[in-house]
């Protein structure tokens, strides 16, 4: 953990950085020099000792040849001039010591047998063996041992390094002091201005520029930043005041909107009650009208039949034709009355939801309708439909109306085709009935699902105009949608949707 002053002040950090850098450079350079010098000392010492051994061997060759140990000993005594050599010996060709020399303070033993030409460091000593060769004949071997003073040289280097390091650190300390005056003063001044700005929120303060270098540019940038912050602080304060006013106005508007929503909800509830009451009255009226119309229609049909049967001889062909028109129109009026009664009853009828096999329901509906069909053979394509959830009886009416329409409007085709399929997504199943029949003008498709709305003449395609309205009402009661697509003489496709069973709301 650094002292508190050092950890906080860039001045001390800069001084520590300079001293650390200087000391690191000195250590690296000193270690490199010591390693290099010790290596040179080792190589030079071994080479010098090998050279002296070779000279001694040449000088002693004659003594070995004439077996004169005294002459060889005299040659070895000359080594006293080399105080670094601690011992030396000359071996004859048989490996026996022929002559030897030891420095007064040396207590080392001579090797029993000489080695071949070599040099090595052994126990702080250089050790050299050099063979004496004359006329390609080995006369003997010179052995020499000298002091290897690496430890002393290392201690000397350490002493020198210590003195140089102290002097260098003093110089570095002086340089760091100069750098502190040049570099850290502007930085410390910037830090002081920053503290004053943060403490007093006074963005009018500025830093004094003293140099034209990077620090001078930093001072200019710092002052520009303070000016920009000051400008933005003023703008932000004005914006905050404006925002506070807007918030107050918005809260007031929210309160007024909540009040309006409450009033609107009450109005919607009242209007919903009125609409429900009107719908009930309308359904009751439709039921009463359709029910009350049955009796006069039955009377009209009955009396026209009685007139036709009882007074047939008194009626001419034109009268009989007109009675037939009356009967047909009365019958059509009865069908319209029955359809209107069914439509009015649908709103009051409760639903019994259950799981529905749509594939089987569509197939059985088509088979029942096709059994009474007298036109060309219909090509019927039924895919496997996803199961649905709803009132089976009501969806029987849906399939009956859609398939019956498809059969009716393809009756004039040479090869009628009816296709039933479905597509699904994450939310709902989309069922559709497609045919290649008469189709319809898409500009009038909004009228398709209205009561008594027809896009074809009754003389071309008979019907009451209530079937698609029933389909729409049943599907909407099951939280679905209904629509259609078509073109004149190019067929039509009727779609209806149901929520997927896993997404359907509980009943």
Of residues 482 and 203, more confidence is placed in 482
Cα–Cα distance between 356 and 335 in angstroms, integer? 29
In a domain, 306, yes or no: no
In a domain, 23, yes or no: yes
Question: Which of 150, 137, 132 shows the shortest CA–CA distance to 43?
Answer: 150
**What's the mean pLDDT in 99-111?**
81
Question: Which of 351, 380, 361 shows the shortest CA–CA distance to 504?
Answer: 351
Question: Which of 453, 490, 326, 467 shows the shortest CA–CA distance to 397?
Answer: 467
**What's the mean pLDDT in 50-78?**
85
**What's the mean pLDDT in 317-345?**
63
In a domain, 134, yes or no: yes
For the chain, the residue count is 507
The pLDDT of residue 459 is 44
418-to-408, 436, 464, 485, 486 alpha-carbon distances in Å: 11, 7, 22, 15, 14
Question: Which of 336, 334, 324 shows the shortest CA–CA distance to 299?
Answer: 334
Cα–Cα distance between 207 and 229 in angstroms, integer? 15
Domain end residue (candidates: 108, 135, 170): 170
In a domain, 44, yes or no: yes
Q: Residue 277, exposed/middle/buried by CB under 10 A (0-12, 13-18, 19+)?
A: exposed
The two structure tokens encoding residue 332: 């059509």
In a domain, 231, yes or no: no
Domain end residue (candidates: 170, 187, 221): 170
The two structure tokens encoding residue 406: 């498809």
Q: Residue 139, exposed/middle/buried by CB under 10 A (0-12, 13-18, 19+)?
A: buried
Sorting pLDDT into bands at 50, 70 and 90, what band is 495?
very high
Does residue 226 contact residue 197 with C-beta atoms inside 8 Å?
yes
Q: Which H or E run contains 136?
A: none
Q: Residue 101, exposed/middle/buried by CB under 10 A (0-12, 13-18, 19+)?
A: buried
Print the SS3 string covering 229-263: HHHHHHHHHHHHHHHHHHHHHHHHHHHHHHHHHHH
Question: What's the pLDDT tens digit per position in 350-406?
Answer: 677 889 999 999 999 999 888 887 878 889 999 999 999 988 888 888 898 899 888
Question: CATH code at 442?
Answer: 3.30.565.10
Residue 458 clears pLDDT 70, i.e. is over it: no
Domain end residue (candidates: 170, 201, 223): 170
In a domain, 193, yes or no: no
In a domain, 247, yes or no: no
Query: Which pTM value belongs to this model?
Result: 0.39
Does residue 340 contact residue 290 with C-beta atoms inside 8 Å?
yes
Question: CATH code at 116?
Answer: 3.30.450.20
The domain containing residue 28 runs over which residues? 4-170
Most confident by average pLDDT, 6-10, 176-180, 324-328, 431-435 = 431-435
Of residues 334 and 463, more confidence is placed in 334
Percent of the chain with pLDDT over 70: 73
The pLDDT of residue 362 is 92
Residue 498 clears pLDDT 90, i.e. is over it: yes
The two structure tokens encoding residue 151: 């430890």
Mean pLDDT over the full length of the chain: 77
Number of separate domains in the chain: 2
Secondary structure (3-state) at 125: strand
Max Cα-Cα span within the chain: 188
């Amino acid at each position: 953990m650094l002292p508190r002053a050092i950890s906080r002040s860039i001045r001390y950090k800069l001084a520590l950085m300079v001293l650390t850098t200087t000391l690191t450079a000195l250590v690296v350079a000193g270690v490199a020099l010591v390693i290099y010098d010790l290596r040179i000392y080792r190589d030079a010492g071994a080479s010098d000792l090998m050279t002296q051994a070779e000279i001694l061997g040449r000088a002693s060759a004659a003594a070995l040849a004439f077996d004169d140990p005294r002459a060889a000993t005299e040659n070895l005594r000359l080594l006293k001039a080399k105080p670094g050599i601690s011992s030396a010996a000359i071996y004859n060709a048989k490996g026996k010591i022929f002559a030897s020399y030891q420095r007064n303070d040396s207590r080392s033993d001579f090797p029993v047998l000489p080695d071949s030409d070599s040099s090595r460091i052994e126990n702080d000593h250089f050790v050299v063996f050099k063979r004496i060769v004359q006329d390609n004949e080995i006369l003997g071997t010179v052995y020499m041992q000298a002091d290897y003073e690496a430890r002393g040289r290392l201690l000397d280097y350490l002493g020198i390094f210590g003195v140089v390091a102290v002097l260098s650190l003093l110089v570095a300390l002086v340089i760091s002091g100069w750098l502190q005056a040049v570099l850290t003063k502007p930085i410390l001044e910037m830090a002081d201005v920053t503290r004053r700005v943060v403490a007093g929120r006074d963005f009018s303060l500025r830093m004094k520029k003293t140099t034209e270098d990077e620090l001078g540019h930093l001072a200019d940038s710092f002052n520009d930043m303070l000016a920009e912050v000051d400008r933005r602080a003023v703008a932000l304060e004005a914006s905050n005041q404006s925002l506070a006013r807007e918030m107050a106005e918005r809260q007031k508007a929210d309160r007024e909107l909540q009040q309006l929503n409450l009033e609107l909800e009450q109005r919607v509830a009242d209007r919903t009650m009125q609409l429900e009451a009107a719908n009930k009255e309308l359904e009751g009226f439709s039921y009463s009208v359709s029910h009350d119309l049955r009796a006069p229609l039955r009377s009209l049909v009955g009396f026209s039949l009685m007139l036709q049967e009882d007074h047939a001889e008194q009626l001419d062909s034109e009268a009989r034709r007109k009675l037939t028109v009356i009967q047909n129109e009365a019958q059509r009026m009865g069908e319209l009355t029955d359809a209107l009664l069914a439509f009015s009853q649908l709103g009051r009828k409760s639903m019994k939801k259950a799981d529905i096999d749509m594939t089987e329901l569509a197939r059985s509906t088509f088979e029942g309708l096709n059994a009474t069909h007298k036109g060309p053979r219909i090509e019927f394509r039924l895919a496997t439909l996803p199961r649905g959830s709803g009132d089976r009886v009501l969806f029987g009416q849906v399939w009956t109306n859609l398939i019956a329409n498809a059969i009716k409007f393809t009756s004039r085709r040479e090869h009628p085709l009816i296709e039933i399929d479905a597509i699904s997504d994450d939310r709902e199943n989309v069922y559709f009935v497609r045919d290649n029949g008469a189709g319809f003008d898409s500009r009038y498709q909004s009228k398709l699902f209205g009561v008594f709305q027809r896009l074809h003449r009754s003389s071309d395609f008979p019907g009451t105009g209530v079937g698609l309205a029933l389909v729409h009402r049943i599907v909407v009661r099951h939280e679905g949608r209904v629509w259609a697509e078509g073109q004149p003489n190019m067929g039509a496709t009727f779609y209806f949707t149901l929520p997927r069973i896993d997404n359907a709301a509980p009943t």
